[in-house]
Structure 1
Amino acid sequence: SIAAGEGRYGRSRAAVREVAEAFYDMMVDGYFIPNSPTLMNAGKDNGLQYSACYVLPVGDSMPEIFDSVKAAAIIHQSGGGTGFAFSRLRPKDDIVTSTGGRASGPVSFLRVFNGATEAVKQGGTRRGANMGILRVDHPDILEFIDCKLDGGITNFNISVAATEKFMDALDKGEEYDLINPRTGLVAGRLSAKEVFDRIVSAAWRTGDPGMVFIDRINASPANPTPELGQVEATNPCVTGDTLVATPGGWRRADAIQPGDIIETIEGPKPLQQVEVNFGTEVFRVDFADGGHLVVTAAHQFYVRTDRGLFLPVRLDRCRIGDEVQTFHAGVGGMAKILKIEAAGIATTYDLYEPQTDTWITEGYVSRGCGEQPLLPNEACNLGSLNVAKFARKADDGEMSIDWDEMERVVRLGVRFLDDVIEMNPYPLPQIDETVKSNRRIGLGIMGWADLLFLLGISYDGQEAIDLADRLMSFVKDKSHDQCARLAEERGPFPNWSKSIYKDVRPMRNSTVTTIAPTGTISMIAGCSSGIEPIFALAFQHRVKQPDGERVLTFVNETFEQIAREKGFFSDALMAEVAKRGSLHGIPGLPEDAGRVFKTSHDISFEWHVRHQAAFQRYTDNGVSKTINLPNDATEEDVAAAYRLAWALGCLGITVFRDGCKGEQVLNVGVKKDKALPAAGQAVIKPRPHSLAGKTYRKETPIGTAFITVNQTEENEPFEVFVQVGKGGSDTMAVAEALGRLISLTLRMPSALSPQRRLEEVISQLSRIGGAQPMGFGAGKILSLPDALARTLAEHIGQVKTEGAPPSPPKLEERRRIGDLCKECGQATFVYEEGCKKCLSCGFNEC
């Protein structure tokens, strides 16, 4: 049992039993419920783990990628969900040095992870859940934003990791840099507004992607051990003229490449990665030995502690007088920091050597501070208080909160979650080690909307926001105090000395509070989910099972209870609410009922975001909150919600417009009608009477192709015609088929715009190889499909032609173009001298 964890710290059997009874009563009474895997697996000896969520690394190599696929499958099989950051993967079409080929990019591997999840059911009870994140400055960000529009990726929610630089560029209407994670070099620039508009449009259509504000997360308690790594952040460290120690002498940082040998505190080691960033704020640091460095705020020196150890500390956490480690000619030493002052803006460089994670800069020992995952293989154990249970009615009939009872349950919940860490049969040994080094727990709340109902407070009002502030502040204070008491009893978490808490009271857990999704456990508890408003006063929950789909009907118990107490309950009213899902438009109700019993779609997005921000102020980790929007919400509403979340200090945001997915888990009301129709046409677009377009002449390995692209009056591509060779030949048949299929793709109903669909066609056709490519270098044409892709890319502006087009081959160099040879497949099967024969292989039908 979970309480058996108490025995590992000297508690007697009687004491363990007493704690177990307290845990049992707390859950049976509905005051606190742990996350679903703990509820389903603990005490059953089935070997399945108890944590809800795991973070897995995705490295930039085939072994690392498929190690993560394997780990995810094991976690899903044992009932957990997984989060992945794909930002370290090199972009699509980047060079793969080992094979000389081209990389397929993060989105292709996202599809691999999605397919693996589809094949594995979580613990035999539910389908695996995944979160995929890509940084906004990754070169493949546009493909990632649109990757769910075609409906193919069903087992992932996705979010864009937005940096402060991106949000600043968005505010100013400027462009920002795209960074190749393999090289650290700038790979292009995009308009921040255009990227943001793509995010908004995709979220309006499908609910994905959300946004996470990655730099804000790194600076918050959500990253309690910043000295051990950042959350997928790029923080280049030194200016290019900084001298770096190598076996051959000192070299400038901007002259060093991946694979070069550099000096570390353990001798020469090969460099794995160099990261570069442009326009970075830098600071000059002067030392007592006469030297100085110009570095970023994130640069990490090894600073001497009171116990004589050297630990990595970011510059922005260093103080004047700190002693940093030096290393000259193999001899270690120390130098005090004398002065730190701003030094302007510069291009900066970070070197990463994976074995020691050190490098020597001008004689000072530095730590790599770049794009390394935040403690991969970490997990968090979650549980939630049902705050509605703490509402008490006074003798005068007024409702209030029993704060003393809430404190008792908060303290008991923290103890429970810490015991889960001890007893959890983690699916992988590296996860066991990482989890026990940081001991993250996440105590959250549910039943918030029910509590507001009981107190007679409207969700969309300042009184609710003020209560959210007070309640979550209370939970944080008491849970952190209990965490500190457990540290006195059991010792702090092992990485405490490297954490943001190292200079204050020792803590048992690196994070304590999280407001997590509570969809399953809130239904078990019979309360509203998390801090969400009621989705509907009555709703359906659709559950997929092997024998078909079950539809479960729920009516909010708190609403029904209050309606009876207030005297406006009736069977007719309940039937009407069951049809509508809310009280909106139902006549004859008390005035207060319409004000208090509002559902999610009755509340404007501003109040959704304000609630999230209020709870975030007192939450160590993230706040799970979906900004539910009605079906008629606009893209402007989505954009405003995202901007408000940034302005109010949220760590991330997710929106969901009702009906934006053909199939959704919760449905307003219990009527039998199908979901709202998706926006857009449901038929193939008919061809107008006339269209304008362009015809391109393109030399291909099988002859000269004439490619016509016609557009609508809105300048959207509508149809494509391809002609090669003579009519009636197999060559022409293949060309015509290509044109017809592309035209059909452009005219079919789709969430993707015609331009985006054509981009996907180009992606599929590009670089398809044939038997006899033609040309050299950038102008090399591999096949007819490759030539078609290049022409379409030219048409939509993906590539620009420079100078005059290449001239066709001279007459004597031209090969005769005929039909496709059934022997060799070349388009050189011609009819001459009364016989059909192939000019390439000699096959004939004579």
Structure 2
Amino acid sequence: MTTTRNEAAHDWDKPPFGNIPLTENQKKVIKDRYLRDAPSVEQWLWEVAKNIALAELLYHPDIPRDQILAGVKYKQEWVDVGNSEKSELLLIHSGVENHDEKDENHRRFISNMYKMLENSQRAREAVLKVANQFYDALANFDFLPNSPTLMNAGRELQQLSACYVLPIEDSIEGWGDVVKNTMLIHKSGGGTGFSGCRVRPSGDKVKSTKGVASGAISPFSIINYATQEVKQGGTRRGANMGILPYWHPDIKQFIKHKAEEGKLENFNVSVAVDSKFMNAVKNGEDYDLINPKTKQPVGKLNAREVFDMICEYAWKSGDPGMIWLDNINNSLSNPTPKLGEIESTNPCGEQPLLPYEPCNLGSINLSKFVVMGKIDYARLGETVKLTIRFLDNVIDVNNYPLKEIERIAKGNRRIGLGVMGWAEMLALIKIPYDSEEALEKAQELMRFISEKSLEASEELALERGVFPNFKDSIYDESGPYHKEWAKGRPRNCARTTIAPTGTIAICAGLQGGGIEPFFSIAYTRYNAKALDALKRGEKPKEEDVYHEVNPLFYSIAEQNNFFGLKPEELWKKIENNHNSVRGIKEIPEEIQRIFASAHDVNVEYHVKHQAAFQKYTDNGVSKTINMPNSATVEDIKETYMKAWEYGCKGITVYRDGCKSQQVLNTKPKEAEKKPKVAEIDEAEGVGSVYYKLETGYGPLHVHIDHHNGQVRKVFTNLSPIGTEIAGLTAMMGVLISKYLEMGGDVGAIRKHLNSIKSDKPYGFGPKRIESIPHAVSVALSKFLAQSGSLPGQQLLTAHVSEPAPEVKAQMSIV
């Protein structure tokens, strides 16, 4: 890269060098996702580098902590980690409950450190020394962190983690909490994973309401509905993972639920299994279904029949995948088993996490570490050391959405360093992807990265302390959970993860995301906006469509005079050859072999590559097993079984064309012209009543749509609009409506909302409003009493206006 380094001491706010060369697709994705108000790509990356380097101030012996924490509410704990050592746990969100106050408290924490850069030469030197190193890695695209870090570092949100797992409790209150927390995470750019393992099955009796439970799919459906309303960080669609264990009584409904178009479209779904289940599949044995509420068997299923169903629906729609929880919990993926068992992963499946645990990811661009056809292990090792420091710093400057998340994030200090550009590296060292030599090289490479990651984390531990939850972890030699293969006293409980790197791979100028082969030599990639347009039957805007031609292949073709063809003749031949170079006689065989596309690669090699990288990866590996449209259900059965036998922690297949829209297409299609369908007039015959209730947060407006005395929809709006609490209030009405649409019991909603209290009650005595949910319950009670559905003695009184004259109109959220 040709650059001019800025060495002037007074120009610390400017990037060290500029003129980063970018392709058109790099420019498009950076502008679409990351640039925002930054004047240039260079300035954006410099602000990211500086922001992450601020964490250096927390560990510098000559930097006064009182200046960093001036005016900040925080809690400092010193945790016993054995060997007569203690590690610091600094909790910035401790004692701050309100989300707006929490964000302001964290902004003050970050602002204090920026002020120190302005006022202290010592602080400036400490930060800029590391920031320059970070910037070199980012600007050369040697390494990129996950998208939330690139989007939010140095900006108002400052939410830097890619993925979280949230628990779903078996109650309406629990569902409400998880939806609220999911919205907060998606709003700030994160993705979420869930398990339905605690939710009682459909049809189970509910003593508190004398009704029946709606089952484990219901909370997923409600979260999906909420996700539709909230983009991640305002820039990308929300993403979720839904997992249900094979022993859950709702498992058959779960397996086939997503096959219907439009169901759980904001979710990836997987069935959680273990070796006991897989052996039962091989032997054709039955197993017990367990009610998670009572822990008692409630029936039996045949393991082979369930496995066959999983594979059948994976063939139809790409879902569900499978996840082996025993492989996860008995490995470095769960280094702190005292805190609990892992039950779910992030949306892409590569990051197993405990409840409330987040992870920040980053990936090394392997294409940058090949010199003269050989891997430059010396420079790669130095980059691993630098990036482990980068990811550890992220933990300290991150603004966590919930205090529970902050505690486990800083207690475990889990990070996920991975790779991208594996296909490019193999092409540069002239090894075919579908070869045993490639599998050997994969293990060699990942073993090196894993060892260097542990070394770097141990060095950081000497400087900053081991992770605070070290005691009784698998590393603790004096503890009951110690494993012989868990070595050292690291700063981070787990260090390596292979992520899919979809967007950041394009940002880095790659076509080989994660450890995937090239999808095709030439193809079209759609972003979220383009996919939405295709769903509507519209042609996507050109700015949302990325036309890709493999730059490595183009360069080699150009050097070889396009193999005696005109360029357009070569591209036409490739297009007519299923976008593959293999089998085109003009192209030398050696070049054909090293430019394998996803559909050239035998399925077994896809699985073997995942297993090869998994062997030396602490967390998990994201790998889509791409299959041709002609693949059969039997092919998928064989693939899933081999993945287990090879020691993978999870598996997902994708049969080309099994969904109506897909992110990558080898040959772009014009959007089908669809006639516009007239909207159903729900207002016809639907009545609506309006209540206004005073709350501690301001006036609450409740509109209840009804038909034949039955509540159909509830709309809840809080004045003034535009605040976070107003947005959450509006979403509460949306979720109540969705729950009722799914057959939910309005009486159960009324009862559960009635029990919720807040820090801002309104009024006194029988007319006291305890919270916004309580006010909604009062309005529902009023309506039900007036419609004759609720005995008068059960009516809840409060400061509520009488309903306005009934109108035949459909209400909408303001």
Q: After TM superposition, is the score higher than 0.5?
A: yes
Aligned to 2:426: 452
Superposition CA RMSD, Å = 2.2
Say which of 142, 145, 159 aligns to 2:255. Answer: 145
Which among 135, 138, 146 is matched to residue 24 of structure 1?
Answer: 135
1:571 and 2:567 are equivalent in the alignment: yes
Partner of 1:337 in structure 2? none
- After TM superposition, the score normalised by the length of structure 1 is 0.61
Q: State the shift of 1:124 in Å.
A: 1.1
Q: Give 1:592 deviation, angstroms.
A: 1.0
The residue that corresponds to 1:385 in the other structure is 364
1:205 matched to which residue of 2?
Answer: 316
Asked which structure has the greater CA Rg, the reply is 1
Mapped to 2, the partners of 1:576 and 1:2 lie a distance apart of 48
Q: Which amino acid aligns with 1:421?
A: I
Listed as ranges, the gaps of 5+ residues in structure 1 are 234-372, 394-398, 676-763, 770-823, 825-846
Question: Residues 596 and 127 of structure 1: is their aligned pair in 2 closer, same or farther, counting only changes over 3 Å?
Answer: same
Question: What's the secondary structure of 1:602's corresponding residue?
Answer: coil
SS in structure 1 opposite 2:471? Answer: helix
Check if 1:481 corresponds to 2:455: yes
Shift of 1:2: 0.4
- In structure 2, relative to structure 1, the CA distance for the partners of 1:499 and 1:565 (3 Å cut) is farther
The corresponding residue for 1:296 is none
Hey, what does 1:589 align to over in structure 2? 587
Asked if 1:554 is matched to 2:548, the reply is yes
* Amino acid aligned to 1:129: A
Q: Does residue 43 of structure 1 match 2:137?
A: no
Residue 768 (structure 1) shift = 12
Partner Cα distance (2:415, 2:623) in 1: 19
1:48–1:427: 8 Å Cα contact kept in structure 2? no
The match for 1:525 among 508, 533, 542 is: 508
- Higher mean alpha-carbon deviation, 498-507 vs 76-85, is at 498-507
| Partner Cα distance (1:556, 1:639) in 2 | 32
Alignment of 1:801-816 (within 5 A): none
CA–CA distance in structure 2, aligned partners of residues 611 and 428 of structure 1: 37
- In structure 2, do the counterparts of structure 1 residues 7 and 575 end up closer, same or farther at CA, with 3 Å as the change threshold? farther
The letter of the residue matching 2:230 is V
Q: Gapped runs of 5+ residues in structure 2?
A: 1-50, 62-121, 345-351, 478-486, 534-539, 673-740, 747-787, 789-814
Change (3 A) 1:586 1:674: farther
Asked whether 1:214 is paired with 2:325, we answer yes
The residue that corresponds to 2:11 in the other structure is none
Letter in structure 2 aligned against 1:441: I
* 1:492 corresponds to: 466
Distance 2:744 2:364 in 1: 56
Match in the other structure for 2:217: 107
Contact 1:202 1:208 in 2 (8 A): yes
Alignment of 1:57-72 (within 5 A): 57-72=167-182
* Equivalent residue number for residue 85 of structure 1: 195
Indicate the residue corresponding to 2:56 in structure 1. 6
Q: Tell me, what secondary structure is at the counterpart of 1:7?
A: helix
Q: Quick one: which of 271, 290, 300 aligns to 1:189?
A: 300
* 1:551 CA drift (Å): 1.7
**SS of match in other structure, 2:399:** coil
Higher relative contact order (CA closer than 8 Å, sequence separation 6+) = 2
Query: What does residue 157 of structure 1 align with?
Result: 268
| 2:590 counterpart of 1:540 | no
The alignment's TM-score, normalised by the length of structure 2, stands at: 0.64
Q: Rate the CA distance shift 1:766–1:128 in 2: closer, same or farther, 3 A.
A: closer
Contact 1:486 1:507 in 2 (8 A): yes
- Which range moves more in the overlay, 536-545 or 141-150? 536-545
What does residue 119 of structure 1 align with? Answer: 229
Contact 1:180–1:186 (CA under 8 A) maintained in structure 2: yes
Partner of 1:778: none
User: Aligned residues, how many?
Assistant: 536
The structure in which a higher percent of residues are strand is 1
- 1:619-648 Cα distance to aligned partner (Å, 9 max, x none): 000100000001111111111110000000
Q: How many Å separate the matches in 1 of 2:362 and 2:287?
A: 40
Between stretches 581-590 and 213-222, larger displacement belongs to: 581-590
Match of 1:258 in 2: none
- CA displacement 1:21-71 (0-9 Å, x = unmatched): 100010110110000110111122x22411110010111111111101100
Residues 369 and 380, structure 2, Cα contact 8 Å, conserved in 1: yes
Whether the 8 Å CA contact 2:214–2:744 is kept in 1: the answer is no
Change (3 A) 1:374 1:26: closer
The amino acid that maps onto 2:493 is: S
Give yes or no for contact 1:165–1:176 (8 Å, CA) kept in 2. no
Q: Equivalents in 2 of 1:60, 1:219: separation in Å? A: 27
Q: 1:543–1:458: structure 2 CA closer, same or farther, 3 Å change rule?
A: same
Give the direction of change, closer, same or farther, for the CA distance of 1:153–1:103 in structure 2 (3 Å limit): same
Displaced runs of 4+ in structure 1, greater than 4 A? 546-549, 764-769
Which residue identity lines up with residue 397 of structure 2 in the other structure? M
Shift of 1:767: 12
User: How many angstroms does 1:150 deviate by?
Assistant: 0.9
Q: Which amino acid aligns with 2:599?
A: H
Distance across 2 between alignment mates of 1:408 and 1:565: 33
Which structure is higher in helix share? 2
Indicate conservation of the 8 Å contact 1:539/1:578, yes or no.
Answer: no
Deviation, structure 1 residue 230: 0.9
- SS of alignment partner, residue 426 of structure 2: helix
Distance 1:178 1:50 in 2: 40
Provide Cα deviations, 1:47-106, integer angstroms capped at 9, x if missing partner. 241111001011111111110110000100100000001111000001112111100001
Deviation at 1:497, TM superposition (A): 1.1
1:242-281 matches, within 5 Å, as none
Residue aligned with 1:601, SS: coil
Give the AA of the match of 1:571: P
1:659-678 to structure 2, matched below 5 A, reads 659-669=657-667, 671-672=668-669
Give the superposition deviation at 1:581.
2.5
Answer whether contact 2:579 2:666 (CA < 8 A) is retained.
Answer: yes
1:179 matched to 2:327: no
Residue 178 of structure 1, CA deviation: 0.7
Q: Which residue of 1 aligns with 2:375?
A: 401
Q: For 1:654, what is the secondary structure of its paired residue?
A: strand
1:289-688 superposed matches below 5 A: 375-393=354-372, 399-503=373-477, 504-527=487-510, 528-545=512-529, 549=541, 550-568=544-562, 570-572=566-568, 573-577=570-574, 580-669=578-667, 671-672=668-669
In structure 2, the CA distance between the partners of 1:538 and 1:430, relative to structure 1 (3 Å rule), is same
Give, in angstroms, the shift of residue 505 of structure 1. Answer: 2.4
Alignment partners' CA distance in 2, 1:544 and 1:515: 23
Deviations 1:569-628 (A, max 9, x none): 651223543564221443311111221111001111100000000000000001000000
On the 8 A contact 1:76/1:121 being kept in 2, the answer is yes
Matched position secondary structure for 2:289: strand
Instruction: Give the letter aligned to residue 442 of structure 1.
Output: G
Where 2:214 maps in the other structure, the secondary structure is coil
